[in-house]
Chain A
Amino acid sequence: MKLLKHKKLSKKLNLFIMLEKGSPTEATGIIAPPETRYKNVERTPSLTENLYVKAIEGFKVTIKNLFQKKVTIRYPEERKELPKDYRGRHYLDTEKCVACEFCAAACPVNIIFIAGEPHPEKIRHPRIFNIDILKCIFCGYCVEACPTGALQMTDVYELYSPERFILTIDELARKP
């Protein structure tokens, strides 16, 4: 019954489209731009499907998967390997930083605050360097902007803190 119904329905619909659109590209009722090569994936259920046979066959899939290798890992004991240039928490090499404020200018969300002070060797040195990590979108534009390679991103993605989320210069300079 169900089978017949589907077939009838689709025939009706095709006819409807043909009447509505004037000239379909094919009798299937598919409207297609002239050069587009398409693939009709429409299907009508077979008799065995209507008798729930195929639904029970689905258990074959689950049973097969039951005996396969596990794909999950036991976090936090096991961890995924991450690339070196993963965009995680920032790290600031204070010896290289010249407080040029390029990172602050490049930041799309304006969360970097820098105040510089004179320095005998590199002219300028950051006195204050704050990143509001809660607002950070981890786009990495600050790292791209840095002309000395002082500001980098690490593969630390577990960012938690009991009270403060504004990373100061001391916290940023700590190697992960």
Chain B
Amino acid sequence: MGRKTNQEIFEKISLICKGLFTKSRVRDIPEFVVPKENIIELEKRLKQDGFNMILDLFGVDFYDNQKLKDYAEVNSRFAIIYHFLKIPDNERIRVIVPVEDGESVPSSCSLFIGADWFEREVFDLFGIKFDGHPDLRRIFLPEDYEGYPLRKDFPTKGVKEYIGTKYTPNFVRLKDRNKKHTEPLDPFEEGSRMVVNVGPTHPATHGTFRMIFELEGEDIVGVDLEIGYLHRGVEKNSENMRWEDFIPMTDRLNYLSAYLNNMIYTEMIERWCGIWDDVPARAKFIRVILGELSRIADHCVSIGTMAVDLGALTPFWYLFRLREEIYTVFEWAVGARLTTSGTAFGGVRKDLDEKTINHINYIVDKLVPEVIRDVDGLLTKNRIFIDRTRGVGKISARDAIEWGFTGPSLRGSGVAWDIRKVAPYGLYEEFDFDVPVATEGDVYSRYLVRMEEMLQSARIVKQALKNLPDDGIMIKSDKFANIPRLPEKKYVYTQIEPLIHHFKGMVEGVVPPFGWYYFGGEAANGELGYFAISYGKRTPWRIRIRPPCFAIYQAFRHMVLGHKLADFVAVLGSINVIAGELDR
């Protein structure tokens, strides 16, 4: 069965949704401009056709930029952009819904439940209302915040300072117990509910986010999640940054596997500018090696901290030993441990030397299997661990897809979905590896998937090291005007021409072609995607980050309902929520 090309998908969707859209075209993926009255009908038809996930939903403010409006073929100030995805066929389409200031859009929550938090985010940052949304509150910013930050007329520095946040919980409750409780709450009375607050700084929340639980005895019957404690406005800040300055910002999304974030962002710009094929193979190999190592490090933290939360401290030490060795590699291969910023447009910033390669060989040949064997011996067959994790936080394949799960959490539910396989980017086509899947969809399944994935990553690194080519780490070609090639430093210091090139490169910088582009890759937690709009200047018009955690964490409410209070730490550890990525 061959994969459909964009043109075929475009023709198919045009036929299915005839009369619902006003404009359509094929860019990086098929695009449809749909008036807001038709969006629900369009979603219904897409769902019938098998599109089962809203991968991303976000807003764009065109403000007064007529050229961008012409590019998008809309006439309104705002547009809401939907990315629909079909699993397992990997068909993607983009739907653009034009919205004027003050207008509202019908909510997609009734059809795609995963749109829930994405719509709240658009409401929070753009002030666009969604009709029929069950829970339309601000999500990152405090309730009493004035203005909508991602609008172009909102100053980057903000309007005023806010001390303390105002927050009114709105619980998601177990369906059969949805009767209203009577105030005041008396925890000692039979059948009454107690509210327990967890976080923002709690040992089980590896980051800052707050959970409010409603308990009946020890059973969780109501949950509300408050996020946004680490909201730094990365997307707003990006609008005043050069394209290359955004690479260090991507370090701070999922800071446990910063290199993967760098890698995906850089590859997006390279593919967008059309220079991907000219990037030397050695640079691509180094990216794969370091990226997979950081995936191992990420899973180390995920499994280790989950085990600590469940009361098993020893696996944590073994896993963190492995992580420390990987970070030693990063010290030598990149020059930093956590915030790597290791890639540059057109290659990588530093070459691997002999010592580092030997160290990586030691890690993937000896240390990873050894540590995995130890942790396996401690946890996998341990009845105590199995009892705490088996059947906890269960989510079926269908629900997981609908909530927008990607990555190990989706594979734990029995869907062999890995972007490295279905739409190979980087050099992943050339490596031989399997996609681990587990079918139960509970915490234990996700743990098994992560364990196997570490071994598979080590396998990829082994193959990459064996075939490491030797053709430089930076793009050589001069024919690309929009990616200036910085000459080597030793020539800059001594010769005039490289110095001129250096000056020119520093002053002009990178300018991707006018328009927009989406690229997603498999980060440690799932699909990390970047959608960027360039308006022909040195700074982006907008960079949208599609965080994998965000979609997964919204389903957390439904995963813990009905379980005991002590089980939420297991679920939280297994989905590996990273606050930096969640809040951006």
Contact = CB atoms under 8 A, between A and B. Distances in A.
Interface of A: 6, 9-10, 13-14, 16-17, 20-21, 28-43, 45-46, 49-52, 54-55, 57-58, 60-62, 65, 71, 80, 82-83, 85-87, 102, 105-106, 108, 137-141, 144-145, 147-149, 153
B382 interface: yes
21 contacts: A17-B414, A31-B397, A31-B414, A31-B417, A32-B416, A33-B416, A36-B435, A38-B416, A40-B439, A41-B448, A43-B448, A54-B382, A55-B384, A55-B385, A58-B381, A65-B374, A85-B350, A108-B248, A144-B486, A149-B489, A149-B493
B439 A34 contact: no
B382 A82 contact: no
Contact of B415 (A6, A14, A32): A32
B377 A57 contact: yes
A42 B445 contact: yes
Given A43-B448, A108-B249, A10 B506 contact: no
B538 to A, nearest CB: 11
A147 B437 contact: no
Q: In the A-B complex, list the 9 residue pairs whose CB atoms are closest, starting with the nearest.
A: A54-B381, A32-B416, A108-B245, A38-B416, A39-B434, A33-B88, A139-B248, A42-B438, A61-B377
Given A55-B384, A61-B377, A106-B506, A30 B439 contact: yes
Contact of A42 (B248, B349, B440, B503): B440
Contact of B335 (A65, A80, A140): A140
B515 interface: no
A86 B335 contact: yes
Contacts of B414: 17, 28-31
Nearest to B432: A37
Interface string B330-350: 011001100101000000011
Contacts of B314: 61-62
Interface string B480-514: 00000010010011000001001100100000000
Nearest to A17: B397
A93 B249 CA distance: 28
Contacts of B339: 137-139
B449 interface: yes
Contact of B398 (A17, A52, A148): A17
B87 interface: yes
B421 interface: yes
B341 A140 contact: yes
B396 A147 contact: no
A102 B439 CA distance: 55
Nearest to A57: B377
B31 interface: no
A137 B438 contact: no
Given A9-B391, A42-B439, A58 B382 contact: yes
Contacts of A33: 87-90, 416-417, 421-422
B179 interface: no
Contact of B437 (A41, A52, A87, A108): A41
Nearest to B439: A42
Interface in B369-391: 374, 377-378, 380-386, 390-391
A45 B439 contact: no
Contact of A102 (B398, B445, B506): B506
A148 B492 CA distance: 8
Nearest to A20: B398
A42 B446 CA distance: 10
Contacts of A46: 381
Given A42-B440, A83-B331, A83-B332, A30 B416 contact: yes
Given A9-B440, A83-B331, A138-B339, A42 B448 contact: yes
Nearest to A5: B391
Contact of B383 (A29, A52, A82, A137): A52
Nearest to A83: B332
B378 A61 contact: yes
Contacts of A153: 335
B452 interface: yes
B383 A50 contact: yes
B381 A105 contact: no
B393 to A, nearest CB: 14
Interface string B319-363: 001001000100110011001010000000110000000000000
Contacts of A137: 248, 339
A126 to B, nearest CB: 18
B383 A13 contact: no
Nearest to A86: B335
B27 to A, nearest CB: 23
A54 B437 contact: no
Contact of B436 (A6, A39, A145): A39
Given A13-B441, A32-B416, A57-B377, A82 B331 contact: yes
A86 B331 contact: yes
B256 to A, nearest CB: 17
B506 A13 contact: no
B445 to A, nearest CB: 6
A22 to B, nearest CB: 10
